Structure 1
């Protein structure tokens, strides 16, 4: 293709070219992009050092060059090149070339080797400092300052130059792995009168072509322009207009030929620099396409339909078309190919164009994005960024996006034959495969569900019985587990069993990452099942769609102001909704590195959480109420932690109590985590997660009267409605009743439990069976209505009594059960207390203390108080005492 034709094509494509980063000659920033010195200086100062971007004006003053030296390349690049080649500005606020590479994502890195074939190395001293830079001798200026005052060395040899450029390209690939590199060997635009430069360029090209053949770059040979094209123009002018526009034309021909079918179409989006020099893609919920186009046309969104388009809708003509498509690209963080933009003329066609990139606008009537689509994009763009740090058995392992994506490819192969829409049970302990298994299933259109593994404190027979009941209801098609845990998996149904012990990552796993590019999901497509802990019966599968999960993520992320790059520190198990959503799903969507600890190890060493917050400068952590007290007990003043990085530690999962916050803030407030950083949330799997959230920055409001032991759970999230009811009637603010919710992220029912779903969801409202009250637009949660025991007309809140009994010396922590049992002889309910004492305790004295305490708290005397052997009471997978199963076991033992 001729040079003139290349230029003509470029002139027609305007902003639809990919975003470029230009790396060219000379020692200063060339306006929108960067210049660099000779390749040897680049390797020395940029790769092996931290050289700052020099200041143009200071350089010109030092060289004693005139303000206007006939060099119009600066103005030309500013006025023309950006328009023709989509050149993207770098930030002068970021002092190093390295920082600018990290701060943005580029489709193309455009390099040329004018430098080495035309520049000698100059060395000089100024103000006691030694400097060196490259500059072409024939452009030294009339005063000949270079020749007279500076030490001049020779040109680089072609071999040295080629080796340097190989190092530079490998360096660039680390920070911009998704970018296509276009390398122009050089040009010799005045070749007729500079034969030495032309010869050096030819020698370099031969050597570099051989050395770079495995680098996956586009190599442009030396461009020898005929004199008639350059006659009458300064070297600067024809250099910019002919060569750079010619290279841009070459790029465009590649685009037209379909070059953007790979990751080159990934959007260019600046990303906030992280403390660890990370550059993860920012997360933003997709906007409404109608609103975006309406804003561009200065029309109400209501006036925009699927048929709105060019020459049909007011203000939308062929000239406006480019602006509209460019605006859509910016709004949805995407880059369209030139061909696609030319074939797109209506809103419906633009929506289909977005769908081809795995993007669904918020006003799409039929489709939503897969919840982990952002994970895939980050894996492609920044594969070596950290996804998680995995801590187990006192060892740490970093999982990069590349690691997790490679595991996903491995699991994809292992799940071959499992039909889309099937349920996959994931039964893993604290394993690195816990993330990749879940993500893999959603990307393949499977429905994962995290189930708890057997722990050493659980009765294996009880565990297996519960699993058999659960498997018979959900009928999973596959299970992902370990060899040890597989023996506890029910045997009565056919299962595609994947043992992670046997997985071997294929050598080409990373090269196959494009295989997991997600498609869109329908609005009603299930993302996963979240099973309840099973404290009050067999586990119930909460059905959650991609749309519901993304809606919750949008609402909650905005509420707590979580940002891409914020580090999440957690020990929470992922089979519980609190851990799954806050410490996996939301961080994966938003782009937050996860610091993941083993829950069992944390219980033994609770200050491990503080160690990691300090080390990783973590921003968020979520804890159940008891964990605040547990951590506070282990902070004895002998150690100090810097917790100043924390934005919030949030209490949820249990009623939030004042004493827990007081104990935590007293110990850790001086270390940077005072009461203003402690938050509360009312959350449940049935709403994906949060219903309400407190405001950070001030202490959480305390309850009064009946609510005096409790903290406010904050204000409702946008789109969430709550009613406090007694039976079916709504009660006034301040009065305690059952909490009913309705929201845009609320579940549609329990899997394979239609009767229970109909019982709990009435006319679009979900009966949580939690007790609470509204006070001045803030929600207070008191406990479960299931925990309310009625004895002789008196209400006894079981968990409140249990909390107080647990304070008695001689009892094992957390091993107390308060319950009622119907006595047929008296036709009344009787109160019983079951507890497990520590060894060598005075049992009679403890029983008496329990009876006296209970009566003092609720004016009801327990009919029975029984001290049981350690381990007798059955705990659920979330660590709570299972009331029904423990009581059933006790009654059987009584018989």
Structure 2
């Protein structure tokens, strides 16, 4: 930091700027700003106010403040340390050079296929131009991304990750996020994107919501940055399934990918809804869903090799993850990617990136366009060339006609064409996109009469000169291969311009919510899915009207809160963007009341009375009636999602419970509570680990005790019939002492004739578990590897239960073993065989040894396939720490050899392997 920035005059100047912004944000309030004044808790600066502050400080000190300043600085002194004279312009690389297109992977069935397709054909082609935290542009090629993802996958496997488990990604936008997302997929697991905590003030709400997400997802592992580990520990304490916390730097290892690879129908990732109208729900999206949506979007956008996508959208939201990243990857077009914090710190960076890299497609919510229209100065406008921008997509929240007009007018001088503005509609339940306008048409604004709209739910076009009107924005037509319809409350389809519930169907549609059958039942109406929005269709185009759960019915009128919230937010003294309007039943009459909750720092009765009066007047002007109840709440009372949407349902619940207007907690007390929670969380996690080690020690004590008590008689007697009963009794006792209750299904299907029972091999515990659940009479003779014959006590134990030793490597001895098995079968024995001969940490059915199948063919004996589950989790390979797990045996089909020759044995072997893979739900390794 230079001397000017650290001088007393500079500090005074900084405090003056902070005080000025605070006073403008809350007119009439007096502030005594010090170097330690909290922007959020003491000065009431919300996210947009902090954006304004950072911009003014940057201009005053002639510096470019990095994005971290917006997220990390909460006091003037914390902001001071970011005042470095280094400019972003000095660090910029040259614009992205032209690149030839390589086509699209039309035959790809998964996202992994898409990445590998591009990496094999154009490994050195730039996939992403990433703006890092220092403002530098870093190129990432298809080949680099695939190589990094494979390294992450190997690291995850080394941490014990199993196929189909879920992994939470709590990472900021950056190279690590990109490689970890595909790394989880390559490891055969399911990514669950969640957003990192932004500020201390909302950490408790963050923890509550994310603990619910991770518990529902049953996440086994969380990947986060080093600074996120304290938060991850708190989540780990609340979510028992969360076994490990790792950083991307810790995920290194030799490339070792699992045999299991996701198919088109497998879950690609879980997209948890923002929860603006309730608790977050995990939308299950398969690879087929995603690729269907991406292909439809590429077709609707007419995306081609000359396009370039520019995005600052968070990668933990569907619009940034699927629309921007996956869409660009599939189409093979470069993606210029920057952090959301960089955009919020300086919104013009987004437009500068479009101008410099000649971006043709970019997307953002409505608030981003409004932010740019208000905050990008004239000097920046003179440097922008937006003539290249052909699709300015606006979605993810209600689109404002006023914002569209202001943005188009403000940036017309930069070459932006109004026809480039494209309001779109989508939702996570349809992957991301659902409706798209014709490119180059421009926005369609439908001005309708207000009275029929609010009373009769009809969208009647307003004649010229009409005064009482409502303007709604068209969001295009259904994507190719998808359908939209509007229905009434009975499910009957409505004609055009009738307002009702919007439903959809198509190949992008989710199958439902993860581990939430009740929410899934409410989502689906036959083969149609409910968007949760009211809308009408005119000339085939959809016009969203508001969330169904937000609709307020009062006095025969149907009111939507958005316009009233926006108008109230303009009242001086009310925190803009911090207003919630909702309906709440009157306890006395049962009728619905119109409630307005507005955040303010006004303390005096005179100021609060003025605000109530102005708020009433505004409500009458906007909706023609005053609210029934006005709550002037302290800052942060109105609950929001991670993307800043008002959580009206949650705010209504807080209102009805009387918790909205609770006084703010002092910062030191808030910090003390979090510190206490952190200590308790660490203690809980440590205690959980200690209990796991205690259980492991107890398990080995039980195994040793049972082996001595029951193994000794078997070794001494050498009577197989008695030995099998003794071993079964000992194994069942061990299971009871360890609290394990192995289940067996289909034992009644086991044939009485001599046969071979084929079971998958997953753990050293397999033999013990099978001894506990299989019948002792007449019982099974286990086959054991010949290495055990060289250990006196193991040899006596195996022979004491009638076991047969087999050779795994020596072909000559293997032929002799086949003869021994044939003799045992012809003697009436039933044999239990582990055809894989060994086991690994990862799931997957290994190659089968042929001896048992050759013996079955020669003896004309059937083989029965059975699947053992849970033992790998109870004691994994390369580990000697037993864990508690659910263990079960399922008896499958019986197969008979078609002849006695080698070809018949091979046919029997492959049929048995396929049957076992199907029964276990594991791939063939």
TM-score, normalisation: structure 1: 0.57
Deviations 1:864-895 (A, max 9, x none): 22222222322211211222333344422568
Contact 1:389 1:396 (8 Å CA) reproduced: no
Match of 2:429 among 661, 676, 686: 686
Between 731-740 and 457-466, the greater mean CA deviation after superposition? 457-466
Cα contact 1:419–1:446 (8 A) shared by 2 = yes
Query: Could you tell me which residue of structure 1 aligns to residue 569 of structure 2?
Result: 806
Query: Aligned residue for 1:744?
Result: 507
Equivalent of residue 764 in structure 1, options 522, 527, 543: 527
The alignment status of 1:400 with 2:107, answered yes or no, reads no
* Within-5 A mapping of 1:74-223: none
Deviations 1:349-384 (A, max 9, x none): xxxxxxxxxx5xxxxxxxxx2213232233344443
How far did residue 716 of structure 1 move? 1.4
1:875 aligned to 2:875? no
Partner of 1:892: 659
| CA deviation string 1:632-662 (max 9, x = no partner) | 1113423221112212101111232321111
Work out the number of aligned pairs and report it: 535
Work out the CA distance in 2 between the residues paired with 1:839 and 1:718: 52
2:103 corresponds in structure 1 to 282
What's the CA shift string for 1:118-169, capped at 9, x where partnerless? xxxxxxxxxxxxxxxxxxxxxxxxxxxxxxxxxxxxxxxxxxxxxxxxxxxx
Deviation of 1:277 after TM superposition, in Å, equals 3.9
Distance change (3 Å), C-alpha of 1:570 and 1:277: closer
Structural mapping, 1:356-395, within 5 Å: 369-395=109-135
**Structure 1 residue 275: deviation in Å?**
6.7
Aligned-partner Cα distance in 2 for 1:784–1:874: 17
Q: Confirm or deny: 8 A CA contact 2:651 2:660 kept in the other structure.
A: no
CA distance in 1, matches of 2:619, 2:219: 45
Specify which of 385, 389, 392 is matched with residue 649 of structure 1.
392
Q: Higher mean Cα deviation, 785-794 or 569-578?
A: 785-794
Q: 2:351 aligns with which of 569, 585, 610?
A: 610
Name which of structure 1's ranges 824-833 and 648-657 shifts more when overlaid on structure 2. 824-833
Match in the other structure for 2:52: none
2:559 match = 796
Within 1, Cα distance between the matches of 2:487 and 2:241?
A: 45
CA distance 1:752–1:700, change in 2 (3 Å) = same
Give the SS at the match of 1:773. strand
Equivalent residue number for residue 599 of structure 1: 340
Structure 2 residue 456 is matched with structure 1 residue 713: no
1:531 aligns with 272
Distance of 1:713 and 1:733 partners within structure 2: 15
Distance change in 2, residues 1:397/1:494 (3 Å): farther
Does the CA-based 8 Å contact 1:449-1:530 persist in structure 2?
yes
Q: Distance in 1 between matches of 2:250 and 2:100?
A: 31
Residues 390 and 440, structure 2, Cα contact 8 Å, conserved in 1: no
Matches within 5 A, 1:537-548: 537-548=278-289
Q: Which runs of structure 2 are paired with 1:413-812 in the superposition (5 Å)?
A: 413-416=154-157, 417-456=160-199, 459-489=202-232, 490=235, 491=237, 492-500=239-247, 502-503=249-250, 521-564=262-305, 566-639=307-380, 640=382, 641-705=384-448, 706=453, 708-727=470-489, 728-812=491-575
Distance 1:409 1:443, change over 3 A: closer
Q: What secondary structure sits across from 1:696 in the alignment?
A: coil
In the alignment, the residues of structure 1 paired with residue 653 and residue 498 of structure 2 have an alpha-carbon distance, to the nearest angstrom, of 34
Q: 2 CA distance for matches of 1:813 and 1:893?
A: 18
Deviations 1:198-251 (A, max 9, x none): xxxxxxxxxxxxxxxxxxxxxxxxxxxxxxxxxxxxxxxxxxxxxxxxxxxxxx
Contact 1:565-1:591 within 8 A present in 2 as well: no
Query: Hey, what does 2:150 align to over in structure 1?
Result: 409
Structure 1 residue 525 displacement after superposition: 1.1
Going from structure 1 to structure 2, the CA distance change for 1:555 and 1:458 (only over 3 Å counts) comes to farther
Equivalent position of 1:198 in the other structure? none
Once the two structures are superposed, what CA deviation does each residue of 1:319-344 show, in whole Å capped at 9, x if it has no partner?
A: xxxxxxxxxxxxxxxxxxxxxxxxxx
CA displacement, residues 241-272 of structure 1 (integer Å, 9 cap, x when unaligned): xxxxxxxxxxxxxxxxxxxxxxxxxxxxxxxx
How big is each residue's C-alpha offset from its partner over 1:518-557, in whole Å with a ceiling of 9 and x where there is no partner?
A: 9874342111111101112221111111111111111110
Q: CA deviation at 1:482?
A: 1.9
Cα deviation 1:291-333 (Å, max 9, x = unaligned): xxxxxxxxxxxxxxxxxxxxxxxxxxxxxxxxxxxxxxxxxxx
Other structure's SS at 2:379 match: coil
Could you tell me whether the CA contact under 8 Å between 2:180 and 2:248 is conserved in 1? no
CA gap 1:740/1:858 in 2 versus in 1, 3 angstroms: same
Indicate if the aligned counterparts of 1:443 and 1:518 stay in contact, CA closer than 8 A: no
Kept in 2: contact 1:684–1:691 (CA 8 A): yes
**Is structure 2 residue 630 aligned with structure 1 residue 865?**
yes
Cα deviation, 1:676-712, whole Å, max 9, x if unaligned, reads 1111211111111211111122222211215642221
CA apart distance, 1:458:
5.2
Distance 2:441 2:213 in 1: 44
Secondary structure of the residue aligned to 2:369 is: helix
Aligned to 1:374, the other structure's residue is in SS state helix
Superposition deviation, residue 455 in structure 1: 1.2
Seen in structure 2, the aligned counterparts of structure 1 residues 613 and 893 have a Cα distance that, compared at 3 Å, is closer
Does structure 2 conserve the Cα–Cα contact (< 8 Å) formed by 1:283 and 1:591? Answer: yes
- Describe the SS at the equivalent of 2:474: coil
The 3-state SS of whatever aligns with 2:136 is: strand
SS in 2 for 1:372: helix
Q: 1:412 to 1:496 in 2, by over 3 A?
A: farther
1:816 is aligned to 579
**Against the structure 1 CA distance between its residues 389 and 697, is the aligned structure 2 distance closer, same or farther, given a 3 Å change threshold?**
same
**1:833 match:** 596
> C-alpha distance in 1, partners of 2:317/2:438?
24
For residues 289 and 623 of structure 2, what CA distance do their matches in structure 1 show? 42
Query: 1:855 maps to which residue?
Result: 620
Change (3 A) 1:809 1:601: farther
Secondary structure of the structure 1 residue equivalent to 2:336: strand
- 1:496 offset after TM fit, Å? 4.5
Give the distance between the partners of 1:573 and 1:413, measured in 2 at CA.
Answer: 26
Distance 1:682 1:623 in 2: 12
Name the CA distance, whole Å, in 2 between partners of 1:894 and 1:669: 44
Deviation at 1:404, TM superposition (A): 2.4
In structure 2, list runs of 5 or more residues that go unmatched: 1-94, 454-458, 460-469, 663-925
CA 1:282/1:517 → structure 2, altered by over 3 Å: closer, same or farther? farther
Q: For 1:775 and 1:858, locate their aligned partners in 2 and report how far apart those are by CA, in whole Å.
A: 24
Does the 8 Å contact 1:458/1:875 carry over to 2?
Answer: no
Classify the secondary structure of the residue corresponding to 1:877: coil
Does structure 1 retain, via aligned residues, the 8 Å contact 2:153–2:186? no
SS of the equivalent of 1:746 reads: coil
Distance in 2, matches of 1:785 and 1:549, equals 26
User: Measured at CA, do residues 493 and 519 of structure 1 come closer, stay the same or move farther in structure 2, by a change above 3 Å?
Assistant: closer
The answer on whether the counterparts of 2:580 and 2:596 sit within 8 Å (CA) in structure 1 is yes
| Deviation at residue 859 of structure 1 after TM alignment | 2.9
